[in-house]
Every structure is written in C-alpha cells, then in structure tokens.
Amino acid sequence: MFRKHFFHGLISGLMAALAAIIYSRIYFFATETDFSGIINPGTMISLNMFVCLIFSTTYYFFIRYFKMKGIIAFNLLISILSFAAVIIPISISLPLSVRNPELFPGLAVPMVFFPVVAWYTFKPLFNNNGR
C-alpha cells in the first residue's frame, strides 16, 4: 500500500516541478528578470519532489493510524502549512547583485502552492475506497 502512496508523491512532484519550470520561464519572459541564481530548475525539481514525497508519506501514516479522520486532519495540515509557507519567499533577503529583487515574491509565492495543487490533482488516480 505504501508503494501506491510513493508513486503518487513521485508523479505529483514531477508534475509540480514541470509546472514550476514552465512558470519560471513565463515569468522571465514577462519581466525580463533572471532569478536563476536563486531558483534554478534543479532546485525546483528537488524541492517539489521532496515536498510531494513528504506529503505522501505523511498521508500514508495519517490514514493508517487515524483512519477516515486522518484524511481530514491531513488536508487541514497541508492547507495550513502551504499558506504559512508563503512567508518564506517574502522574507528572503536577496543579494545586492540581483536585479529587481522586488519581483522575486511574484515568482516564488505562486510556486509554494504547486506541490499542493499537484498532490490534490493526482489524488483521484491513486484513490482506493476513499483513501
């Protein structure tokens, strides 16, 4: 059963990373500001994969130990953590060599939600009896 959750996290992480890379390219062409020294494709892939695999592992343990109440508790937990994580890109102070640092939150804040959206999007593919 854990294998199903592992693949859910893996696919969600890959899709979230793909969305982040596409979004960063669109943002670059729209603003002509390069933040690749701070957020590059390798960082986006590893961070999204890590977060989605953590989500899947946590979800597995929640439904295993708390049954149906675990689903609600897990959904509440990752929703709260996602909104709280918005603080991270807003509070980062960038080096002085970065051009247009005020545009960085516009790039990074939406990316905070990509793992959660991907995880919820692919959840029905791995759903088994409501879990």
Q: Is residue 46 part of a domain?
A: yes
Question: What average pLDDT does range 5-9 have in this prediction?
Answer: 94
Total structural domains within the chain: 1
- What's the rounded Cα separation, in Å, for the pair 45 and 57? 18
Give the rounded distance of the alpha carbon of 112 from its chain centre: 5
pLDDT for residue 128: 67
**Which pLDDT band, with edges at 50, 70 and 90, does 13 fall under?**
very high
Which tokens hold the place of 25?
């390219």
Instruction: Specify if 131 maps to a domain.
Output: no
Q: What is the pLDDT of residue 131?
A: 52
- Confidence grade of residue 29 (pLDDT, cut at 50, 70, 90): very high
Parent domain of 7:
2-126
